[in-house]
Amino acid sequence: MVFICLLGLSGCDPKMNQLSKAEASTVVKIELVDYKNDHPELLTISGEEKPRFDYGKATLIATLDESRFGALIEEVTEMYYTDYGTALNEPMGKTLVFHLNNGSMIVWFGCVYTNENNKTFYYGDCYVFAQNGEFIRYIGDVGYNFPDTVESKYFQSAP
């Protein structure tokens, strides 16, 4: 009986991921952007549709000084990301972009949006995209206020 209870409790926990420090350390530029997503849709990562990143929809807010890279890399690689298996079709709102030396991007965003049924969602994710914006992989949920926290802590010149 105890085994069944423990199995039931642990079986409901979502998977937890971490970002590789080796991968994050290949960053060549870190930007905070405002990403315009006029039609947010919730996707299931295991499905055929995957999120995309269109740099043409991003407006630069600030670029992080290289002297601050180490502290931010340390912070994001020590975090645990919850894997719920869902994602928005594209980032939305304030978005943190790590440009890596191989051309790919690690992207974090956080937003609050209302769907077509007037249901409000608080959403924040971390993805890896290829240079052309194609989805590579999902790291996990970071919470909807993560970009605001990073902005106030690391981007002192941001508006």
pLDDT tens per residue across span 26-52: 999 999 999 999 999 888 888 788 999
Ranges of H-type helices in 33-141: 69-78
Domain assignment present for residue 98? The answer is yes
Q: What is the pTM of this model?
A: 0.86
Domain assignment present for residue 80? The answer is yes
Ranges of H-type helices in 2-156: 2-11, 21-24, 69-78, 146-154
Question: What is the pLDDT at residue 37?
Answer: 95
Domain assignment present for residue 9? The answer is no
Domain assignment present for residue 24? The answer is yes
The answer, yes or no, to whether residue 10 has pLDDT greater than 90, is no
Per-residue pLDDT tens over the stretch 70-120: 999 999 999 999 888 888 999 999 999 999 999 999 999 998 888 888 988
| CA–CA separation, 98 and 57 (whole Å) | 16
Question: What is the pLDDT at residue 151?
Answer: 92
User: Rounded mean pLDDT of 123-149?
Assistant: 92
Q: In terms of DSSP bridges, do strands 135-141 and 120-129 run parallel, antiparallel, or are they unpaired? A: antiparallel
The answer, yes or no, to whether residue 6 has pLDDT greater than 80, is no
Q: In terms of DSSP bridges, do strands 86-88 and 120-129 run parallel, antiparallel, or are they unpaired? A: unpaired
Domain assignment present for residue 43? The answer is yes
Question: What is the pLDDT at residue 47?
Answer: 74
What residue ranges in the chain does DSSP mark as E strands?
A: 15-17, 27-35, 42-44, 58-63, 81-83, 86-88, 93-100, 105-114, 120-129, 135-141
The answer, yes or no, to whether residue 124 has pLDDT greater than 50, is yes
Q: Which domain holds residue 53?
A: 15-154
Domain assignment present for residue 71? The answer is yes
Domain assignment present for residue 121? The answer is yes
Domain assignment present for residue 5? The answer is no
Total number of domains in the chain:
1
